[in-house]
Structure 1
Amino acid sequence: MNNTSNMYLPKPYLLRILFWLTAVLPGYTQYSDTIPQIDSLSVVVDTAGQEKPFMVWNRLPGAEGYIIFQWKLQNVNWGWYGIDTTYSETDTSYLHLNGMPGSQSEKYRIGELDSASQNNWNGAFGEIHTTIHSSAKFDPCEATIALEWNKYRGWQEEILEYRIYTSENGGPFIYSASQVPNDTTWLFTGAGAYSEYCFRIRAVSAEGRTSTSNTVCVTADMPRPPGYINADQATVKNNETIVVSFHIDPLAETGEYRLLRRSAGQGTYDTLHVFSGGNPGYVEYTDEEADLNVLWEYRLAAVNECGKTVCLSNAATNISLHGNAIDFLVHLVWNAYREWIGGVDRYVIYRSIGNGPFLEIGATDRLNNTYTDDISGFRTQAVPGLFCYRVTAIESAGNPYGITGESRSNIACIEMETDIRFPSAIVPNSNIPVNRVFKPVYTFFPREYYLVIYNRWNNKVFETTNPSEGWDGNPGGGTTPQEGIYIYYCKIKNMDGDVVEKTGKVAVLFRK
């Protein structure tokens, strides 16, 4: 194979005329046994590691050789110029070492070498074939790469599709997608920061022929977004506010994070707070305006310099607890916590009596959001009638970031009505201790209590605000209990705020 600079080729103007004739004379460029036709034209990598055009054409019986033509600019003139020659009938492939398929789409066609003809060429061209030239543009705002390429030209049969192959960080090229013949664009999404992506396009014809483009590579030069943002919990604090917390991928380079909130499952999110100035690794926020009876949903969004969300956390919802009592059964119900990555393991129920400490009284599994507490056993224990409850959700093991979330609900209180009864007589010298003292019997302690006792002369003999304190029949003044009829007056305020007043008589008797 020799360079055509050593042979006599047609002048540029003659070649341009012949090219014009092929365009206007039907059948002039049809496939023929007497005209060499390129079968495939692709971009390949040569031994020096450079991408070059490589073509294969049909063999012409009896041909002396072939002339390779390229459409190019030479001496300020565009035209078909012979770039090389082969001198064998069987030499039907060519690698153009001076080709630049990475810069542009290049056009080639083949002619038959004919030493008996003027200029060693019989004047017949094969079909024009063009390399596929692809280009790529990275969008750091969207983390996408837009590919674009020219249509392959040359085959008589139609093109079925264009196949896109992708390589990431020097890895193997893997099939990614296909486009229809009329669509020569494709959008690669989800580019990773600082990763290099290379692409090749392959045209496939109806007869199975293929043509591969140049390789185009781009690096996703952008700040590294978080690989994750974990919503640790949304928990009620002091039955007044909701505290939300998040852990952020420590490798992230995103500088702005927006705390989002909405009424759970309703409409769009509102921005509640903005954290800026770099990746804090961990953020916590106290929502002082949240109504604890409403179910709120929180997320944390990492936002790039273009204002686009590049990573969104899982949701964190508060637990809203409600309860009611029927007789002495307290029924509790709450919403399921969502959406821990590890899922909910269990719900733990706590109870406080009369503003006392919260103590664990039971638990349910992750699928059970109700609980019934039987408080009938407290009727004889003279305890306050205020029963308050709280539920804590516990995250299951399996969170990939080693975090176990806990979410505490609001406090739901049940105020039981106080039923108060008084004895009609006491016996100070009775063998039974309960009969020796005048004291009311309660179902539950009232919120407020006042008891006063008068003798028959309307003199006050006893007074107390302690519901546990009773009267032993002593009329006061250090004397011993005396038989007689006494008048009592009692005023109580129930846990629900209702005031109850009772007046009656009590007899002081002695056992004979």
Structure 2
Amino acid sequence: MSRIRTYMKILVKFLLLMIILFPSVVQAQAPAIPDLILVTVDHSDNGVLIQWNPSADSDIQFYHLYKLIDPVDMTFQKIFSFGPYTIEYKHMTSGLTNLAYAVTAEDSTSNESLLGDNVHRAVATTVEFDLCTEANIVQWTSYEGWEGDISGYRVFGGISGSPLQELTFVPASTNSYSHTGVAANTDYIYYIETVNISGITSNSPLDTVSVLYPVAPSYLTIDHVSVLDEASVEIQYSADITGEVNSFRLLRRSNPGTPFTEVDMRLNVMESTQVVQDQFLTSTYTYQYLVESVFQPEGCGTSLVISQSNQGNSILLVNELNDQIVTLNWTPYESYEPGLAGYIIQRNDGSGEFADVQTIGPQFTQWQESIQSMVNGFQAGELQYRVIALSNPHNGGTEEQSISNITTVVIETHMQVPSAFTPNSNDINSEFKPLMDFAPRDYLMIVVDRGGRKMFETSDPGEGWDGRFQGGSFVDEAVYVYYIQYTDYTGLFNTYTGNVTVLYP
């Protein structure tokens, strides 16, 4: 039972005792007390509507409306009086707090009924944004005057300026609700509708709360994602760390639409540019990356995500070789903050250095070239390619670069062996050397005479026999035996054995 009703019952008992002990002071019986129906707030004008049933007595001259003015001392003040035919009133008050009201009846002999149990108090709400749970917590007092007759409470709420929606219905024993999924830096409005088992309802006043988060960094950008080697990538990001949010979390995922997982967490960083290395097989997988700015509220067990960066991804490059045509395919880079300018195709032909081959537009993710023009007998049967994604210029002309993995094209070696040559002739036949398109990975050539003496040996496919005996004097004109074995870059092992004739002009 409410505190108000308890005090009223004590007062009634006291007055009854006074009547019994001092009946002479009571000139007539007080009229029957009017039965209050409800106290509710009309949200259209914020007036408090009080409704009551007429007194059971017929000799009623006035109804008096009282309002609780001191909830500590339980002091009521008469605020209005009405004629006998008024049974409702809308109280336009500037303060929608302590909405406890009572109505008494006064008869023609000026006897006034006691307040008694005739007190109703509308629900009072409090709303606050809980940063730990990222939810608006709505709490309310129970409606007083319908004890035992409340079926439950409806919670209404929504963004300020938009129609309020019913969020939930809870039983009468519940006095709080957590509204999750609220938008940052947005005002919300709530009210509680108390539902009586008879079907009548009472509204609480509207209550407003602002969903305020710490101010996000003015910028948070993934600058690039570049492959370092076969097992690692480098992710560089930049952030504004001048505000209260200066902790950051790096996330990755393998496929769009799948959840991100944490790779790295950095708290209270002191440098605006951060570099992180991630480990995986870069020639097999590609990952998307995202950076979140996070804030740890005091007393919270988890950190809150305040803002997110653009996404960046490692570029996975693969190749195909068909009919002397190399085809490169790669995953597009997504996405630079200033936009993608295009791609640079680079090739390493065995010199140890990558050189630019062509620059193409951002819409392309495939490129082809013929390797026929590279056939010279010296070019190794292994070509390496990589792709560099270029950003549009920003920050005074800076261009970011994101480098793919290195993909290797391996080429089968084809060989023809001449049957004769003319040493010391200063023409194209002055040395004995196999003709090949692409040099193999491993190579050995030995030339011997008919007696088995070794004339020449080399492991360099670009080196030929000039017709000298172990680099000394020229051998005699005769037929010699050669033995060649090699393993090309595709892994194919081959051997050649035959005769070569030394001829002199």
TM over 0.5: yes
Q: Which of the numbers 368, 384, 390 marks the counterpart of 1:388?
A: 384
Displacement after TM superposition at 1:226 (Å):
5.0
Distance apart, 1:421 and its partner CA: 1.6
Contact 2:432 2:465 in 1 (8 A): yes
Q: Summarize the Cα distance change of 1:351–1:138 in structure 2 as closer, same or farther, 3 Å threshold.
A: same
Alignment of 1:270-289 (within 5 A): 271-278=262-269, 280-288=271-279
Q: Are residue 135 (structure 1) and residue 134 (structure 2) matched?
A: no
CA spacing shift, 1:200–1:419, aligned 2, 3 Å: closer
Check whether the contact 2:66–2:80 (CA below 8 A) recurs between aligned residues.
no
Aligned positions of 1:26-175 closer than 5 A: 41=41, 67-70=64-67, 81-85=76-80, 94-96=91-93, 101-102=96-97, 105-110=98-103, 116-119=108-111, 130-150=121-141, 163-164=156-157, 175=163
Q: Is the 8 A contact 2:422 2:430 kept in 1?
A: yes
User: What is the deviation of 1:243?
Assistant: 1.2
**Structure 1 residues 68 and 404, CA, compared in 2 at 3 Å: closer, same or farther?**
farther
**For 2:211 and 2:491, how far apart are their aligned partners in 1?**
71
> Residue 298 and residue 16 in structure 1: after superposition, are their counterparts in 2 closer, same or farther (change >3 A)?
farther
Report the CA distance shift for 1:457/1:278 in structure 2 as closer, same or farther (over 3 A).
closer
Residue number in structure 2 paired with 1:435: 429
Q: Aligned-pair distance for 1:484?
A: 3.6
Deviations 1:460-479 (A, max 9, x none): 55554443344454668886
Q: One-letter code of the match for 2:421?
A: I
Determine helix, strand or coil for the equivalent of 1:243: strand
Match of 1:377 among 373, 376, 382: 373
Q: Structure 1 unaligned runs (5+)?
A: 1-10, 18-26, 32-36, 46-51, 168-172
Report if aligned partners of 1:450, 1:491 keep a CA contact under 8 Å in 2. Answer: yes
Residue of structure 2 aligned with 1:360, choices 353, 356, 361: 356
1:234–1:318 Cα contact (<8 Å) kept: yes
In the other structure, the counterpart of 1:321 is 317
Q: Does 1:213 align with 2:205?
A: yes
- Does the CA-based 8 Å contact 2:102-2:115 persist in structure 1? no
Preserved CA contact (<8 Å) 2:135 2:178: no
The verdict on how the C-alpha distance between 1:307 and 1:495 changes in structure 2, with shifts beyond 3 A counting, is same
Contiguous gaps of at least 5 residues in structure 2: 1-9, 17-31, 55-59
2:153–2:170 contact (8 Å) kept in structure 1: no
**Structure 1 residue 304: deviation in Å?**
3.9
Question: How far off is 1:285 after superposition?
Answer: 1.3
Distance in 1, matches of 2:324 and 2:278, equals 36
**Under a length normalisation based on structure 2, what TM-score does the superposition of the two structures give?**
0.67
Match of 2:3 in 1: none
* Distance in 1 separating the partners of 2:234 and 2:51: 73
> Quick check: 282-291 or 209-218, which moved more?
209-218
1:442-477 per-residue CA deviation (whole Å, 9 max, x = no partner) reads 111223444444456666555544433444546688
Query: Which structure 2 residues correspond to residues 168-317 of structure 1 after superposition, within 5 A?
Result: 175=163, 177-179=165-167, 185=177, 187=179, 189-190=181-182, 192=184, 199=189, 201=191, 213=205, 215=207, 217=209, 220=212, 224=215, 226=217, 229-250=220-241, 253-254=244-245, 256-261=247-252, 264=255, 271-278=262-269, 280-288=271-279, 292-305=283-296, 306-311=301-306, 313=309, 315-317=311-313
**1:49-107 deviations in whole A, cap 9, x for unaligned?**
xxx9755889x9xx98763223577896x58x45223589999654457x6x44xx422
Distance, in Å, in 1 between the alignment partners of 2:471 and 2:227 is 55
Q: CA deviation at 1:508?
A: 3.4
Q: CA deviation at 1:501?
A: 3.8
1:487 counterpart = 2:486: no
Match of 1:468 in 2: 462
- C-alpha change, 1:435 and 1:175, in structure 2 (3 Å) is same
**Cα distance in structure 2, aligned partners of 1:377 and 1:299:** 43
CA RMSD of aligned residues (A): 5.4
- Secondary structure of 1:68's aligned partner: strand
Query: Can you list the C-alpha shifts for 1:283-320, whole angstroms capped at 9, x where unaligned?
Result: 21123565642334544444443223424555544233
Distance 1:143 1:404, change over 3 A: farther
Is the Cα contact below 8 Å between 1:224 and 1:251 reproduced in 2?
Answer: no
Name 1:422's counterpart in structure 2. Answer: 417
Whole-Å Cα distance in 1 between the matches of residues 15 and 187 of structure 2? Answer: 40
Rounded Cα–Cα distance in structure 1 between residues aligned with 2:168 and 2:51: 26
8 A contact 2:414–2:437 mirrored in 1: yes
Q: Is the 8 A contact 2:251 2:290 kept in 1?
A: yes
Change (3 A) 1:152 1:266: closer
Check whether the contact 2:316–2:331 (CA below 8 A) recurs between aligned residues: yes
Q: 1:223 to 1:510 in 2, by over 3 A?
A: same
Normalised TM-score (structure 1): 0.67
Is the 1:252–1:279 Cα contact (8 Å) retained in structure 2? no
Counterpart AA for 1:383: Q
The alpha-carbon deviation at position 504 of structure 1 amounts to 2.6
Distance 1:198 1:457, change over 3 A: closer
Kept after mapping to 2: 8 A contact 1:38/1:109: no
Q: Indicate if the aligned counterparts of 2:39 and 2:101 stay in contact, CA closer than 8 A.
A: no
Q: Contact 2:241–2:269 (CA<8 Å) still a contact in 1?
A: no
Q: Which amino acid aligns with 2:99?
A: E
Does the residue aligned with 1:118 lie in a helix, a strand or coil? Answer: coil
Instruction: Please give the alpha-carbon distance, in whole angstroms, between the structure 2 residues aligned to 1:502 and 1:378.
Output: 24
Residue 49 of structure 1: aligned partner: none
Residues in 2 aligned to 1:145 and 1:232: alpha-carbon distance in whole angstroms: 36
Mapped partners of 1:326, 1:196: distance in 2: 59
Whether the aligned pair in 1 keeps the contact of 2:155 and 2:190 (CA below 8 Å) is no
CA contact (8 A) 2:469 2:475 kept: yes
